Amino acid sequence: DAMVIQNPRYQVTQFGKPVTLSCSQTLNHNVMYWYQQKSSQAPKLLFHYYDKDFNNEADTPDNFQSRRPNTSFCFLDIRSPGLGDAAMYLCATSLRDGRPFFGSGTQLSVL
Amino acid sequence: DAKTTQPPSMDCAEGRAANLPCNHSTISGNEYVYWYRQIHSQGPQYIIHGLKNNETNEMASLIITEDRKSSTLILPHATLRDTAVYYCIVRVDNNDMRFGAGTRLTVKP
């Protein structure tokens, strides 16, 4: 049973057109993470939520925003996607100090 | 920051043990070592984690040196399906999980 669900699996957007990626979880974990993974690179942490506390990585561009309306859902908003934002976006969840569970990712293409 | 160093790639013969090293010389006393792997185009998969003692589960064994400055992930009988990128991660703060470059393991027939 899928526990961390990312939709859609593939997303195509146009240069400069805002796009939202979604993540939901059935684990009731209080921490949710967003990672960006470009081709042949390791996942890079963008930000995470501990409950409603938002923690931004220092080098995450302002173009990336996130929302967590409740425990189960978290969204990644890319306000003005550029060609360099094409990547796999991974969502993960965990309990505090627990091991993260990852979703299958959303592959974003920017045309 | 505690960071990790792994060899970029390794080969292993099918059926043999795969031993993947990781250096984390700046690890702090309460930081765990996690191992994940990622098969192409999939989300990372948890393998094992540990603090001080060696750990074993159905997938692998984790050997942590006494000074905790390095560890080794052991896949006892590697199969072709174990071909993946393996990441050793030291958890810096309570909620941060930052990946290093990883080791690309290729299991060969």
> What is the pLDDT confidence band of residue A2, given thresholds at 50, 70 and 90?
low
Residue B95 has pLDDT above 80, yes or no: no
Tens of pLDDT along A9-52?
Answer: 999 999 999 999 999 999 999 999 999 999 999 999 999 999 99
Distance CA A6, CA A73 (A): 10
* Interchain proximity B97–A100, CB inside 8 Å: yes
In angstroms, the separation between the Cα of residue A3 and the nearest Cα of chain B is 12
* B87 CB neighbour count, 10 Å cutoff: 26
Chain position carrying tokens 């393991």: B105
pLDDT in tens, B2-15: 589 999 999 999 99
Q: What's the token pair of residue A13?
A: 């957007």
Contact A4, A103 (CB under 8 A): yes
Q: What b/e string do you get for A65-79 counting C-beta neighbours within 10 Å, with b at 16 or more?
A: bbebeebbebbbebe
Q: Nearest chain A residue to B94 by CA: give it.
A: A97
Decide if A42 and B99 are in contact by the 8 Å CB cutoff: yes
A105 and B42 within 8 Å at the Cβ level: the answer is: yes
Is the predicted pLDDT of residue B98 greater than 90, yes or no? no
Is B59 exposed, middle or buried, given 0-12, 13-18 or 19+ CB atoms closer than 10 A?
Answer: middle
**B34 vs A contacts (CB less than 8 Å):** 99
Chain centroid offset of residue B42 CA: 17
Paired tokens of A40: 């042949």
**Nearest residue on chain A to B85, alpha-carbon basis:** A42
State both tokens at A45.
Answer: 């942490």
